Structure 1
Amino acid sequence: MNMINSVEMVCFDTTATNTGKRNGAGMLLEQKLKRSLLWLPCRHHIAEIILRAVFEIYFGKSCGPEVAIFERFSREWNTFNLKDFSIGIMDEEVRRAISAEECEANKEFCIKNIAKDHIRHDYKELLQLMFIFLGGSIPNFSFRAPGATSHARFMSKAIYALKMFALQKQFKMSSSHLNGFRNVCIFLVRLYIPYWFRTTNAVEAPNLDLQLIKNIAGYYDPKISLALLDKMKKHLWYLSEEAVGLAFFDSNVDLNVKRKMVEALALEKEFESNDDNGVYLRKNVNASIEEMKAFISKDLSCFVTQRTRNIFSRLEIDVKFFNLDPSNWCENAEYLKGVQILKNVTAVNDSAERKVKLITDFNRPLTHSEEDKQYLLHIVENYRQKFPSYTKTSLL
């Protein structure tokens, strides 16, 4: 019972089964608990929405569950010389799209994140492929064999696109397909991959969400920019008035922006209005493309209303620190309490995805006893943590 009373937030993927207004899992959970929750949609699912939109620009919509050109690439994999690959940044059109400064900054980003522990091997693989694309060198690097080609698989399009562009001299494809993969790879390196790896923390998510929209609005390719703005305008509820309150605890948000956010808390704003403050971020409201482009000039204070205070009541945090300048918040006990509570709250449900896969694999095949099943799952999970791969080095 104590745990039930402590639930204040819920993270989920963005399918209708979770977000539906009547029978969505989020609504049903709120009905069960008899109170509202702060919804934290999985940012990785958001990233997949925009990646799929970019693919559809160049390769059209696919009715089947698999991607045909990926399947052909997978079938031909054993015929490739994996030492003979093209470096993306050496391509003239890629160099025009990615400046030398941006290239170096993204290479440093890759180096920093490759060194971290990742919940899945393909997360590290994606970073390595981006690093190679940008001209980086990895000792003893070798391309991994292609995996699943399903639309539903996280990052599969990204990983396949980077591999296919790298092996373009050996994998036959039309000039339109080559051009499509070139543009997809540029998008991956400039927007998708940095957002994917930075947006896991819920506190940092609002600022990164807004920055993503700004980057999309100012993207060099207007075809991609318009298509993605059209997608994002239907999902502005991610930047809800309450969720934006998480950004008060984000050390990456400029102090001047935080000062404006505090001022905005006291303003009377109409909940459904479409004014310059940008308070139209509701799930049932669709902003225009022009309104989306205007986000370039906005900061997080534009999304703060009196309802933003709800986040502090959820966390039982005294907001007297608002009487202090943001530069002094880190010396306030209540503010530090919020930082401590939120430091491990994520805006992605990757762990849940893994646990669902685990229970699917081991649920019914081995035992029907609930006690034995729980024991089995603990054994499997502990084993996977101890031996994360099947290489000889990890098993010895």
Structure 2
Amino acid sequence: MTLMPSPPVLEVEAAALSAAEHAPHTDRAGRLPDAVAEALTGTGLLAHFVPRAFGGAAGRFDDCLPALLRLAEADPSAGWCAAIMASMSRMAAYLPAAGQQAVWAHGPHVSLAGTLQPAGTATPTPGGWLLSGRWPYCSGVHHARWALLSAVPEGAPGPRFLLVPRSAWTTEPTWSGAVGLRGTGSDTLVLDTEVFVPEDHSFTREQLFTAADPPADGDCYRVPHEAISGLFFAVPLLGTARAALTAWTAAASRNPSAGSLRDSDAALATASGKIDAADLLLRRAARTCDEPDALTALLAARCRRDHATAAGLLNGAVQTLFHSAGVRATSGTGALSRLWRDASTAALHPALAVPPAAQAYATRLLRPAE
């Protein structure tokens, strides 16, 4: 009998301490320090959604939330990159067997980057495609070993994801002027010359979004992407809001202001209530997706709605804390200022946008025949 490797255990405290220590420098440098990126690799998060056949956990969504939250509280940029890498590992499990083997042949702790937005040019050629172009907003690209890039091949009915190795790309520094989440290093991935991508290193967007017949075995691969995608962006925002509440509370304890005590009390109660409400929404969404057999189209749309709703609550909570802190909060070197910038940026991600989530939910609830 063949014994499978033991699944990785999520141990993030050392990485969180490293991320917190480096956070101000990370914000200025525009990318994660190598030490933090290496620490993330050792947390087990990169392997959490890797198929068991390669030593991963094929894990539950709810089980990875505490680890992602701890990292995001330490540094939102580190938490964001960890969440993206975990999500990309789940996506890579949709690759055919040869593609999975290429990524995880030497172990499950492999960092991947990528984008959902189609770009570039994919020209059909015998056995695969020739891929070239530019893919912006590629979080964690500087430390990734592989990338899943979306493109619409010539003559194809829709987008595909194509796997490319680190040796194939360069980066263009387009993230340096970002308002927040500066440390994610979400620069542009560039394929200056055509890269051959074999057929078995690719899968369709439709496969990911319908979760139909995933090549890997595990419940986490049986969830349509739109039902779970927003979780990986909303959870780092939850950690950011928690960190902002901690920073605000510490400042309020050091510098009580009797004249505005009532306003401060209201800000604290309102912000903390929104954070707790968002936490409940996101945990429910994760647990819903952990039961794919019961995941109806309406429940999937509700999860998407809850991701967007939680993001609005969390961004609102951070805005409340920031504005109630007064002029002290505007210090460019202060933690609350950085966290406010990070939250404001995270909330803008398309996966957390209310209009498409609202339309999907309303359609499933009110117009199920459409």
Does TM, normalized by the shorter one, top 0.5? no
TM-score, with length taken from structure 1: 0.31
Q: Which has the larger radius of gyration?
A: 1
The structure that is strand-richer by fraction is 2
